A and B are shown apart, each in its own frame.
Chain A
Amino acid sequence: MHSYAYVADSRLDETRRALGLQTSGGRAPNPRFFTGFLGDAQQAATALLAIAKIAGTRYFQPTTERLRDPVVTCNGDRLRFESFSGCCGVYARLDVLGDALDGEVHDRGTTNVDVNEPLRRALARVTKGDPLHLTVGPDQVEFGTLDGAVVEKKVPLPPRWLRGFAETQVLTSKFDLKAELSAADAQRFLKTLPKGRAAVWAVPSGRSLRLSGTASANAVCLAGPNRLETLIPLLRFAKAVRLYGPPADGKPVASGWEVDLGAQRLTLVLSPEVTRGLSGEGAVLDGLAAGDADTDAELVGALLDFEPRVDVADLADRSGLTPARVRDALAQLGTAGRVGYDLAEASYFHRELPYGGIDVEAMNPRLRNAKALVAQNAVGWDGDTAVVGTYRVNGEACTCQWWAEYRGGRGKCKHVLAADMVRGKA
């Protein structure tokens, strides 16, 4: 269970056109990030609604339980609102860039932001594109009366949700831009998407996309198109829509969908299948298994200060590590929720998920099991082939059931990880 403690409810004052978002957690109990004006109010409100909707939805096995609030990061020049669906299958981030913000940044950092039903309704009522006054954090008055008057919300915080939220960052760092559509073509494509759960592939053809049953070079996997419905209201304002994905090998993979609104960007990441959360994709295991990642991550983590873009070369310079080790360290920080990845800029950004006690090892049972195998000396060798119990590991392939089910498509199994660790040490 996680407990949010807000100073007051977030609210939108419709007569004064002032949006006050309340915060909880992070480096301060109720941090204060920003006061000022937000550019196009209608776009921002629609995008915030999309973020709130994803935070409150389970696309697989829907429940009525209360879900988790979005997270906001202030990177100095921009605000990023992130949310993750209850089923761990959809990640969403709204980047409000500098051009849309006009005001004072009080602090950098990451915190939870309260979203409640009256706020949702008020946001849905915003119909004009005039600027909106925005406060992120308690305002002056509320700040003065911080005397325990709190709005408390309790929500379940399962490890797989936390892990998926964090892991998405590492997963998307391997994505490439696959297609870019004009707003009109994107509208036509996304609005005519048929229903269905089985994964199909969106392949660039002409100016738009077509659906194919087979993965080709530039194909983007699309499983459960209903999970993209939150994008549709935003298409009216879109400048362009970009699609991202990892290199395709025929198996369902994750996909990224970015709606570019000019001064704002909304990015969705969909899991490879509706029934599959992003939490189990295992993208980080490699980096974590590399021996030095722990200490490197500490070193690199200490150098970060909520930068909007993490510069690997610069970090390598300052930390004295090689760029490859910095990247591994960033991956490790990613699993702990300490960096995010921005697809549009193809770079990491610093943020610290405002949930206490993130234990990377506990969140990655495969890694823990692999370490246990190594500790038990369970890895033997038959030439180049590692023998772990009854399983045989060749390179990245193993004869265990996990590998057979996903053919390496969800990260390495514990046997391959254990073999890698032993090989790395030798």
Chain B
Amino acid sequence: MSFDRIQALIEAGHAHPLAEALKSLTPERRKECAKDLIAYEKAHRASDVRWQHGEPLAIAGAGLLPSVSALTPWLVRYQISMHHSRRHDDNIGALVDVLRHRELTWMPDLVTRIAARMPTRERWRQDLLHVVLEFCGDDPPDSDGFLLHFMDSGGHTRWRPAFDALIPRMLEVAGSGGIMGARRQWPEFLCDRADRQVLLDGCLARLQQGGTAAEVGGFLVLHEVVEVTVDEIATHVRDYVAMLPDSRSTVAGLAQDQLKRLDDAGRLDFGLLCEASRWVFGRTEKKLVRAQLVWLGKHGKANPDNVVLTAAELFAHESDDLRGQAVTLIAKHLGNARDTTQAEIRALAEQLPGDLAAQLGGTTSQEQAPELAAFEPRPFPSPIATLDELTRELLCAFGRDSSYVEPSTAERVIEAVVRFAWQDREALAQAIRPFAENTPWFDDSQHTPRSELIGAVLDAQDKPRPLKHEVSTELDFAHNRKPEHGIGALGDALAKRLYEIGRGLVHLPKPALVSTPTEMSGLIDPATLAGRLARAEAEGWEPWQRDLRQALQRLPRDTDPGLFASLTSKAGAKVRDWLANRTDPEVAIAERTYRHPWRYSSYMAETGLYATVTPGLEEPEQFLRENDAWGSMMEWWPSSLPVQREVVAAHLIPHLRARTASKGVDGRLLPMLAEAHGPAGPAVHLALSYGLGAELVVNRAHAVDAVLILAARDQLDGGALGDFLGQLLDIGDLVMNRVAPGLRDAARSGAARQIWDVLAAALPRLWTHNRVADLVELAVELAQLLQPGGEVPGLAEVAARKGSSKSVVQAKRLMNALGGTA
């Protein structure tokens, strides 16, 4: 039989005739055909149809290839896949049939090598698994890939006695826990099959090593199935202790339970119990710590010294609730302890808050409240000096991390583009080229600020085509430009300003922009603007219309109109007119309901607090889902309207609200708002409230920065912030364990008094909140520090309640802290 016949069978894809043909070959013919097959496969692999005939090729290779080193990669490459389910068994059967017929001496080697090549993460090589199981006999391989495939495809139903040797490796291989968690037959099967000692040993080792939740979960199931006896706990007691320091909370909980069982049987060494307690006290899970404390307390009578010293480990814990419980326990047993122990405890009590330290007869070491870092307005960076610098800034701004563009960078870029375009258009086009080559994806059909910014820069490459006829200074290029959906009034104004620059560069070039800020907040020094306008007047040109409007919006609120009195240009007149008639839109907080346009049922309705701006933003909730944070360049808004931060805040609120349940880095959005000017009213404080509850840590950190900036400028209204936080926490729009750490950070960074105001306003709304104790703890800390006096509505009722729930205990402490000054 010639290779042509085999080739025809391969291409026809008929497994069984192919297998029969291969089996009928003589050794000499097989040798010759193998060469032909290799040549054929090489050509086939280079062809356009290399994805064809994979399965027959696998069979042909198995029938012909002369060595293990040739066949192993061949079988790995040509998979007989599960997708061809009808023929699947046939093809694998044919493969096995062909291999068996050859009676290869190197079969064991092939099995080992194939097993070593089986993937670990994806377990889709059923064909290889089949070959291995067929030919391994009583000497199974123990590679990770094989074991995981075997376990994942119900290996316990194909078990052979010789496989018992694999059990220790099965427990060892990463990934087996996940399988045991998902296929619960495995733990039970292993429990019946394996030596208990081996099983428990492997299980404990894996629980100590940790891993993903699913991986650990499987071993927790195994541990449960094994039903460890007290004797076994006693043998492995140190292994259980070793699970306490840095394992998952489920594992630590398990270890705690088992050790407790041992102790209940009276067989846990007391020294080890103290050791275990110290490890648990170093953990963050309050539930574990509390259970450990109660357990330790039971030994208080017998070993007062060790118990109090061990419990004192909790003095360094973050939670006052736990520290309080530790203090109660210690106070109970301290009298029975030795004098030296008592002295030691009193010394350690220095770390405690005053009231807790007093319970132990100690005093707290009075800590100095840190000062607020003073706020310094940041000067605007100097303009881009060279074309090379412009190229670099452009590449940086839209380079690797283009999630947001620093507003100062964007301002400097457009300023430089306009200036260089006036000076040397050719050279500018050269400098822009690398950027243009990097943005082949640019689509000018969008009217968002980001797209207009890129468009304006790219427009500067074109040759100018000045308008032939005389134009009015009132010419508005963007007059008929439709607002883009989802970017809001501020985004639209920004987009139109940038569009004007793009069109202006082509049709009506000017020597410079007048709106570039002089301070990072976006503010323009009035004298500088007057100077720029005087220069334009002297050179005989008028600034672009929207450019001038932007410049006006950046003038401080107390600008002296007299600075512009001497200007005779139209621009000068506009400035004077505008300064005389400057008005603020009305900003108000409102509860509004967002309804999804495509759903008429009410479950898509979402009610929340927003700020409305009249005129400008009457329906803020519309931007909750349909805002385009990337295209609208929100990071640029605060510095576009730097003296009306209430308006900016109102426009940011829908986005910040969405960020409480979405990931995405916003940059210095809130700090920019805090650095800006104009009244900081309800909208700013509502924006901060949402910021403090953002999902991403870095966004929350920015919100804390903003709170501190406002506090340093004496513009933080603690009462307003507290009121919003109280409302939002109460209705569940914000989560306590995000808000409380932020407030604590702010309070400990010098804003203690302001944060006390926040808490005093928020707490009355939150007495029924299940996490209110977290805030009360902070309130106690601040009340002890500041001695503010006064009353918090509702506190007395909560403090008067019976019971020892966290909130009641903390409320009592707060009463005492406030009562101290009454």
- A397 contacts B698, C-beta separation under 8 Å: no
- A198 contacts B239, C-beta separation under 8 Å: no
- A184 contacts B282, C-beta separation under 8 Å: no
Give CA–CA (A211, B671) in the complex, Å.
Answer: 14
Q: B727 on the interface (CB 8 Å rule)?
A: no
Size of the A side of the interface (Cβ < 8 Å), in residues, is: 50
Write the nearest CB–CB distance from B177 to chain A, whole angstroms. Answer: 12
A192-207 at interface with B (beta carbon < 8 Å): 192, 194-196, 198-201, 205-207
Give CA–CA (A171, B246) in the complex, Å.
Answer: 30
Instruction: Encode B367-398 as 1/0 by CB contact (under 8 A) with A.
Output: 11110000000000000001011011001100
Instruction: Encode B308-347 as 1/0 by CB contact (under 8 A) with A.
Output: 0000010111100000000000000000000000000000
**Is chain B's interface secondary structure helix, strand, loop, or mixed overall?**
helix
Give CA–CA (A206, B400) in the complex, Å.
Answer: 36
B385 nearest CB neighbor, chain A only: A394
Q: Which residues of B contact A398 (CB under 8 A)?
A: 392
Q: B511 on the interface (CB 8 Å rule)?
A: no
Give CA–CA (A232, B275) in the complex, Å.
Answer: 16
Interface Cβ pair total, 8 Å cutoff? 145
Write the nearest CB–CB distance from B692 to chain A, whole angstroms. Answer: 12
Instruction: Encode A118-133 as 1/0 by CB contact (under 8 A) with B.
Output: 0011001101100000
Q: Which residues of A contact B668 (CB under 8 A)?
A: 213-214
Give CA–CA (A399, B434) in the complex, Å.
Answer: 8
- A184 contacts B275, C-beta separation under 8 Å: no
Q: B120 on the interface (CB 8 Å rule)?
A: yes
Most B CB within 10 A of own CB, among A46, A192, A198, A233: A198
- B175 contacts A213, C-beta separation under 8 Å: no
Q: A166 on the interface (CB 8 Å rule)?
A: no
Q: B238 on the interface (CB 8 Å rule)?
A: yes
Give CA–CA (A214, B395) in the complex, Å.
Answer: 23
Q: Which residues of A contact B278 (CB under 8 A)?
A: 236
Give CA–CA (A141, B283) in the complex, Å.
Answer: 43
Size of the B side of the interface (Cβ < 8 Å), in residues, is: 63
- B395 contacts A404, C-beta separation under 8 Å: yes
Q: Which residues of B contact A206 (CB under 8 A)?
A: 367-370, 748-749
Give CA–CA (A211, B745) in the complex, Å.
Answer: 8
Q: Which residues of B contact A399 (CB under 8 A)?
A: 388, 391-392, 395, 434
Q: Which residues of A contact B120 (CB under 8 A)?
A: 64
- B282 contacts A236, C-beta separation under 8 Å: yes
Give CA–CA (A200, B705) in the complex, Å.
Answer: 12
- A194 contacts B697, C-beta separation under 8 Å: yes
Q: B702 on the interface (CB 8 Å rule)?
A: yes
- B434 contacts A232, C-beta separation under 8 Å: no
Q: Evaluate whether A233 and B245 lie within 8 angstroms (CB atoms) in the complex, with A183-B316, A210-B704, A214-B702 already known.
A: yes
Q: A298 on the interface (CB 8 Å rule)?
A: no
Write the nearest CB–CB distance from A84 to chain B, whole angstroms. Answer: 19
- A232 contacts B246, C-beta separation under 8 Å: yes
- B205 contacts A117, C-beta separation under 8 Å: yes
Task: Return the contact of A205 from the options B175, B238, B750 (Cβ within 8 A).
Answer: B750
Give CA–CA (A210, B368) in the complex, Å.
Answer: 16
**Is chain A's interface secondary structure helix, strand, loop, or mixed overall?**
mixed
Write the nearest CB–CB distance from A376 to chain B, whole angstroms. Answer: 21
Q: Evaluate whether A212 and B351 lie within 8 angstroms (CB atoms) in the complex, with A191-B284, A206-B367, A407-B396 already known.
A: no
Task: Return the contact of A210 from the options B245, B282, B749 (Cβ within 8 A).
Answer: B749
- B175 contacts A64, C-beta separation under 8 Å: yes
Q: A188 on the interface (CB 8 Å rule)?
A: yes
Instruction: Encode A381-403 as 1/0 by CB contact (under 8 A) with B.
Output: 00001000010101001110101
B403 nearest CB neighbor, chain A only: A198
- B392 contacts A403, C-beta separation under 8 Å: yes
Write the nearest CB–CB distance from B773 to chain A, whole angstroms. Answer: 16
Instruction: Encode B739-762 as 1/0 by CB contact (under 8 A) with A.
Output: 001000110111000000000000
Q: A336 on the interface (CB 8 Å rule)?
A: no
Most B CB within 10 A of own CB, among A200, A206, A233: A206
- A401 contacts B399, C-beta separation under 8 Å: yes
- A210 contacts B748, C-beta separation under 8 Å: yes
Q: Which residues of B contact A390 (CB under 8 A)?
A: 434
Most B CB within 10 A of own CB, among A124, A187, A385, A404: A404
- A212 contacts B705, C-beta separation under 8 Å: yes
Q: A173 on the interface (CB 8 Å rule)?
A: no
Give CA–CA (A124, B173) in the complex, Å.
Answer: 20
Task: Return the contact of A208 from the options B271, B388, B698, B748 (Cβ within 8 A).
Answer: B748
- B282 contacts A235, C-beta separation under 8 Å: yes
Q: Which residues of B contact A198 (CB under 8 A)?
A: 665, 696-698
Task: Return the contact of A394 from the options B238, B386, B699, B750 (Cβ within 8 A).
Answer: B386
- B749 contacts A205, C-beta separation under 8 Å: yes
- A205 contacts B370, C-beta separation under 8 Å: yes
Q: A405 on the interface (CB 8 Å rule)?
A: yes
- A392 contacts B701, C-beta separation under 8 Å: no
- B208 contacts A392, C-beta separation under 8 Å: no
A105-120 at interface with B (beta carbon < 8 Å): 117, 120
Q: A229 on the interface (CB 8 Å rule)?
A: yes
Give CA–CA (A404, B405) in the complex, Å.
Answer: 13
Q: Evaluate whether A191 and B318 lie within 8 angstroms (CB atoms) in the complex, with A127-B241, A211-B745, A390-B434 already known.
A: yes
Q: Which residues of A contact B317 (CB under 8 A)?
A: 187-188
B271-321 at interface with A (beta carbon < 8 Å): 271-272, 275, 278-279, 282-284, 313, 315-318
- A392 contacts B391, C-beta separation under 8 Å: yes
- A213 contacts B316, C-beta separation under 8 Å: no
Q: Which residues of B contact A401 (CB under 8 A)?
A: 395, 399, 438
A278-335 at interface with B (beta carbon < 8 Å): none
Q: Which residues of A contact B175 (CB under 8 A)?
A: 64
Q: B174 on the interface (CB 8 Å rule)?
A: yes
Give CA–CA (A397, B390) in the complex, Å.
Answer: 12
- B318 contacts A200, C-beta separation under 8 Å: no
Listed from nearest, the 4 A-B pairs whose CB atoms lie closest are: A404-B395, A124-B242, A213-B702, A184-B316
A-B contacts besides A199-B698, A205-B370, 16 pairs, CB < 8 Å? A121-B239, A124-B239, A125-B239, A187-B282, A188-B316, A188-B318, A191-B282, A191-B283, A192-B284, A205-B745, A210-B748, A211-B697, A214-B671, A232-B246, A236-B278, A401-B399
Residues of B within 8 A of A (CB): 120, 144, 172-175, 205, 208-209, 238-239, 241-242, 245-246, 271-272, 275, 278-279, 282-284, 313, 315-318, 351, 367-370, 386, 388-389, 391-392, 395-396, 399-401, 434, 438, 665, 668, 671, 696-702, 704-705, 741, 745-746, 748-750
Residues of A within 8 A of B (CB): 46, 64, 117, 120-121, 124-125, 127-128, 183-184, 187-188, 191-192, 194-196, 198-201, 205-208, 210-214, 229-230, 232-233, 235-236, 385, 390, 392, 394, 397-399, 401, 403-407
5 CB contacts below 8 A, A to B, read A124-B239, A127-B238, A127-B275, A194-B741, A211-B697
